[in-house]
Amino acid sequence: MFNKILIANRGEIAIRIMRACRELGIKTVAVYSEADRSALHAQIADEAVCIGPAASKDSYLNTKAIIAACEITHAQAIHPGFGFLSENADFARLCRTCGITFIGPAPEVMDAMGDKASAKKTMISAGVPVVPGSDGIVPTVEDAKKIAAEIGYPVMIKATAGGGGRGIRLAESEEQIEAQYIAAQQEALACFGNGDVYIEKFIVDPRHVEIQLLADNHGNVVHLGERECSLQRHNQKVLEESPSPIMTPELRERMGAAAVAAAKVSGYQNAGTIEFLVDRDRNFYFMEMNTRIQVEHPVTELVTGIDLVKAQIRIAAGEELGFSQKDIQLTGHAIECRINAEDPRHNFRPCPGTIKSLHTPGGFGVRIDSAAYAGYTIPPYYDSMIAKLLVKAPTREEAIKKMRVALSEFIIDGVETNIDFQLRLLKDEDFEAGNFDIGFLNRKNIMGE
Ligand code: ADP
Ligand code: ADP
Ligand code: MG
């Protein structure tokens, strides 16, 4: 096992990783930007190293400074958390060259999964269902027209190098395809330096349901059930839960088996997630693989009892999983609400500022992952998420009630937050009935104003 791990991240996920390290008897090194001197992660780590100015590109994305921090503190491994360098294959390669363990999959696998058109081909070879579409890159508008006519409109034109919702365009008919093809290509070229696009059928009002995986370096792969992530605003997840309201034991078994097959065919190691789109008839299609720990991982921890971050560290150290699929029991229902410093009444604009006072909920079945404290000033440079509030109860109905109570106890003074928005969502009839898809929060006026 490692003696010391450097955490190349900030905020609640840095704290989350530190807790796992401490339970495993591992020393921690925090890195922080000049804007994060008073951030909790920099305060409570065993050692902390300033890696540069506030802007992420000069600090949390500054690979040279992070590697140097690792070398001066003699940390043996780097945990990248999510965002920042977590899906950067070049950084994982740099760690390898420097003899530092990157806690995540091999850079070759990250590369392979980062190219969406080729990832799709890999999935087809493993028998994983994918959205019907082109066989790889579509080189010209004429090809695009031919393929779209074959699969039928509406179609999505997608950048193979895409991410963060960029380089994706919808074409509803043949009249639109030329303009949308060119728009997707140009955006992809501008954002990713690669204009290659592919085409797939547009799935109408799908759900986003993802499967959590753990894979060790000894060929053991298990899935830990699903997370329902359809409640999103402009592709940003707002609330996640497990089980999904649409799940059946039979569907979970098929989706889980597909995810495990996907991990095996790609030689995947460590924690990862396969995102699926699920249509109204419960057909599911591979969308993408996230080669990192995710924001919403505690939802799965609550229903499985497995500490995913400790598992990541153990896997990276070469240990075996120590359990198999039949040992994984899903119990109860878990919900996560992302608490952001943002103003739902003004188009969710971020609201950095100083937290004057803070009262957090508690009690049986309530968990908070956060790096906020009273007196903390949220800097304007990074993500606006300040806490994740989770509950677990025997049933979905009870979990909803528990979450309403917890949200109503949560008091953050000094900055605007989305707590009231979350509370209204928890009281929405369609939410309560489990009746929503990925477009739900973009269509519905939750604040009712
Ligand atoms: P996830 O898929 O991990 O649940 P989202 O899909 O909401 O997270 O986040 C969208 C992207 O933004 C993710 O790919 C992640 O890399 C990045 N991201 C999310 N939260 C943070 C954060 N706190 N800091 C940096 N990057 C983040
Ligand atoms: P990114 O890497 O940018 O997140 P994704 O492939 O995950 O790209 O797609 C982003 C979002 O676009 C998805 O979360 C989903 O809402 C929507 N989307 C992507 N492909 C399709 C499709 N074939 N049909 C309907 N919606 C889609
Ligand atoms: Mg995505």
Q: What amino acid occupies position 177?
A: I
**Does any ligand 1 atom lie closer than 6 A to the CB of residue 275?**
no
- Mean pLDDT for each consecutive 10-residue tract of the chain (449 residues)? 98 98 98 98 98 97 98 98 95 98 97 92 95 95 96 96 88 96 95 94 96 98 98 93 98 98 96 97 95 98 98 98 97 98 96 98 98 98 96 98 98 98 98 97 90
Ligand 1, pocket-test mutation among 41, 56, 57, 82, most atoms within 8 A of CB: 82
Position 414 scores a pLDDT of 98
Would you state the structure tokens that stand for residue 251, as one six-digit string? 């569907």
- pLDDT confidence of residue 399: 99
Ligand 1 touching residue 294 (CB < 6 A): yes
Whole-number Å distance, alpha carbon 332 to ligand 2 midpoint, is 29
12 lines ligand 1 (CB under 6 A): no
| DSSP H or E segment with residue 203 | none
Please classify residue 89 by burial: count the beta carbons closer than 10 Å to its beta carbon, then call 0-12 exposed, 13-18 middle and 19+ buried. buried
Q: What is the pLDDT of residue 235?
A: 82
Protein residue with least CA distance to atom 10, ligand 2: 165
DSSP single-letter state for residue 279: -
CB 207 within 8 A of CB 275: no
pLDDT for 162 equals: 87
Distance 294 CA to ligand 3 centre (A): 12
DSSP string, 311-373: HHHHHHTT------GGG----SEEEEEEEESEEGGGTTEE--EE--EEE---STTEEEEE---
Taking a C-beta distance cutoff of 8 angstroms, is the pair 188, 263 a contact? no
Q: Which pLDDT does position 234 carry in this prediction? A: 84
pTM score of the predicted model: 0.94
> Which structure tokens are listed for 325?
């699929």
Cβ 74 vs Cβ 99: under 8 Å: no
At 400 the pLDDT is 98
